[in-house]
Amino acid sequence: MIRKMITVGALGPLLFTAGAALAEAVEDTLVVNEDIEMTTRTDAPEHLSDALDEIMSGWHFRGTETRAMQADDFDNPGMIFVEQARDDWSEVVGTEGNSCASCHDEPESLAGVRAVYPKWNEAAGEVRTLEMQVNDCRENRMGAEPLKYTGGTMQAMIALISSVSRGMPVNVATDGPAESTWEEGKELYYTRTGQLELSCANCHEDNYGRMIRADHLSQGQINGFPVYRLKNTKLNSVHARFKGCVRDTRAETYKPGSPEFVALELYVASRGNGLSVEGPSIRN
C-alpha cells in the first residue's frame, strides 16, 4: 500500500479543526549513523494478526526534525547517557569487587539481550525485565545496592544495553513458562480502567494515527525504549510511561517494577515482535 508523504507542515491547518483529524504515519526510513538499518514497519506478529495488519514504530508518528535527530548518534542526546553508562559499566562497586565488565567483558557482548527481554528466568521462577536482571546482578553478584527502577542511572544502563542491540528484531517469547504472565499482560492491555474508562487498546490499537488533542497517537510500541523525551530532556523507562498512561485515564496507577507492569511490558513488547530495537530513541 503506497502512502502519501504528509509533512507535519501540511498537517498544520488540520490539527486545529474540531474533532479527530486523521494524520497518517509518515513514509520514511530510519538508518542510524548511515549504518544501522532499522525495521520500523513490518507485518504484525501472528498473535496480533486479527487486530492489526502492520506494526509501526513510534518513530513514524513524530515530526520531521525529531525523526532526523534519531538518525545520528551525535544528534541523539540519549546517547550522552549511554556514554555515562559505559563509565559505570567498568566501575567496581559493591562488596565483591566486581564491575559489570568483570563478568560481561564489553557492553557489545550483550548484543541480542535487549531484543528478548522481558523473559522467563528459570532460577527465579518469574518473568524478568532488564531492570530486574540488572538489579539481580548488582545485589547477588556484585554485593551492591539495587538501582532505582526508573532512575537516571538505571535507565542509562538500560539504554546502553539496548543500544548494542539496535537494528536487531524484537523477539520476546510468549509461550512456555512465560505464557501465563503474557496472558495477564494481554488482559491488562484490553481492560478499560479509570474515570475515563480507557484501555491501552482504545487509543493504541483502535485509534493510532489519529490526533488526541495535539498529540499524534502511535501504536504504543516499546521497541524504542528507553526514550529520550524532548518534553523532559531525559531518558524515560517503559514502566514510567505505563504509569503515566494509567494515570492519564484517571485510574490508580501501578508501581514501576510491579508484577502488573512486568506482565504488561511482556505483552506490549510482543506486539512489537519484528520491529528493530531502537533504544535509546527520541520522541516528543
Partner 1 sequence: MELTRRNVMIMGTGAMVAFGLPMAANAAGEDLIEAFTGGAEMAESGVTLTAPEIAENGNTVPIEVDADGASEIMVLALGNPTPPVATFKFGPLAASHTASTRIRLAGTQDVVAIAKMKDGSFAKATKTVKVTIGGCGG
Partner 2 sequence: MAKGVRPRVKVPKTASAGEAITIKTLISHKMESGQRKDSDGNKIPRSIINRFTCDFNGENVIDVTLEPAISTNPFFEFEATVPETGEFQFTWYDDDGSVYETSKKISVE
**Active-site residue set:** 245
Stretch that binds partner 2, among 53-61, 73-81, 130-138, 168-176 (CB under 8 A): 73-81
Binding of partner 2 by 83 (CB under 8 A): yes
Residue 205, helix vs strand vs coil:
coil
Q: Within 10 Å of residue 50's Cβ, how many Cβ atoms?
A: 8
Binding of partner 1 by 4 (CB under 8 A): no
The burial of 133, by beta-carbon neighbours within 10 Å (0-12 exposed, 13-18 middle, 19 or more buried), is given as: middle
Which of 37, 65, 91, 96 contacts partner 1 by CB under 8 A? 65
Element (H, E) at 185: helix 179-190
Element (H, E) at 264: helix 259-270
Nearest to 279 by CA among 113, 149, 141: 113
Contact mark string toward partner 2, 225..244, x via CB under 8 A: --------x-----------
Binding of partner 1 by 9 (CB under 8 A): yes
Cell numbers 519484528 label which residue?
274
Please, what is the minimum distance in Å from the beta carbon of residue 64 to partner 2? 16
Closer Cβ to partner 1, 15 or 124, answer by number:
15
Helix pair angle (238-248, 259-270), 10° resolution:
100
Binding of partner 2 by 80 (CB under 8 A): yes
Which of 36, 48, 66, 77 contacts partner 2 by CB under 8 A? 77
Binding of partner 2 by 35 (CB under 8 A): no
What are 158's three cell numbers? 538500560
List interacting residues with partner 1 (CB under 8 A). 8-9, 11-12, 15, 62-66, 69, 203, 211-215, 217, 229-233, 241, 244-245, 248, 284
